[in-house]
Amino acid sequence: MLSSQKERALGLLEASGMLRLKDFIAEGIEPETLARLVREQRVIRPARGLYQLPDAPIDAAHMLIEACVLVPKGIVCLISALQFHALTLQMPSVVWMAIERTAWKPTISYPPIRFVRFSGASLTNGVERYPVLSREILVTNPARTVVDCFRYRNKIGIDVAMEGLREGVRHRKCTADQLWHYAKEARVWTVMRPYVEAVVADAA
C-alpha cells in the first residue's frame, strides 16, 4: 500500500509539477508517504506544505507557480505581471500578488511575496487566466497591469510604470482605449493621461 501511494504521489507531481499537502490528502495519500519520499530525496519541499520533484525547473515562471499554489486566489500583478507579459527588463526579487481587501494574508517564507489588496471590481476586471507549465494562474492583463503600476507608482516607482506603458504600446499589447477604460475605473486617468498621450504620439 505504501509503495502504491508513493507511485501515485510521484505520478501526481509529474502531471501537475507542484502540489500542496492537502491536494495529496484529497487523493488519499498520507502525509507519512510524502515524508518518506522527502527523506528518500525523490521529492523536495521548497516551502511548508508544498511539494515538487527534485528536477523541476527553477525560473521566473516556476516561482509564479509556487506563489499561486500557496495562494490559490492570489492575482499576479504589478512588476511580476509586467515581467510575465514581457513589458519590463526588470527581474523582480519578489512575487507581487494581489489578494482580496479583507482576506487573511498568509505568512510565506518562500517564494518571497509582496502583497497588495484589491477590492470590488478590481478583483475581476482585467484579471485573466494564463497557462504556465501545467497550470493556469491569475494575472492582470497587459493594459490593466500598466494602469495598476501607475496606481501604485509610489510603491514601485514611476519609471517602472513608464517602462510598462512604453513597451505595452510599442508591442501593441495594450491600446489607448484599453488604458483609458481601466484607468477611469481605477481613478488614475488624470495622472496617466499626459504620459499615455506622449507615448502614443511617439509610437505613431
Q: How confident is the model at residue 56, as a pLDDT?
A: 64
- Four-CA torsion 158, 160, 165, 168, nearest 10 degrees: -170
The CA distance from 93 to 87, in Å, is: 16
Region of poorest pLDDT, from 41-50, 66-75, 167-176, 191-200: 41-50
For the stretch 160-171, pLDDT in tens is: 999 999 999 999
Q: Which residue did the predictor score with more confidence, 166 or 91?
A: 166
CA triple 101-180-103, angle to 5 deg: 5
Gap between the Cα atoms of 118 and 185, Å rounded: 13
- What are the CA-CA distances from residue 126 to residues 75, 122, 174 (Å)? 11, 8, 12
Please answer whether residues 164 and 182 qualify as being in contact, where contact means their C-beta atoms are separated by less than 8 angstroms. no
Work out the average pLDDT over 109-124.
91
Measured CA to CA, the distance from residue 86 to residue 98 in angstroms comes to 19
What span, in angstroms and rounded, lies between the C-alpha atoms of 147 and 5?
47
SS3 198: helix
Q: How confident is the model at residue 13 (pLDDT cuts 50, 70, 90)?
A: confident
Element (H, E) at 128: strand 127-132
Dist CA 81 CA 67 (whole Å): 13
Q: Residues of the chain with pLDDT > 70: what percent?
A: 95
* Cα end-to-end span (Å), the chain: 67
Nearest one of 70, 88, 65, 68 to 78, comparing CA atoms: 88
Residue 18 vs residues 100, 125, 148, 180: alpha-carbon distances, Å: 24, 28, 29, 38
pTM, 2 dp:
0.74
In the chain, helix, strand, coil percent, each to 5?
50, 20, 30
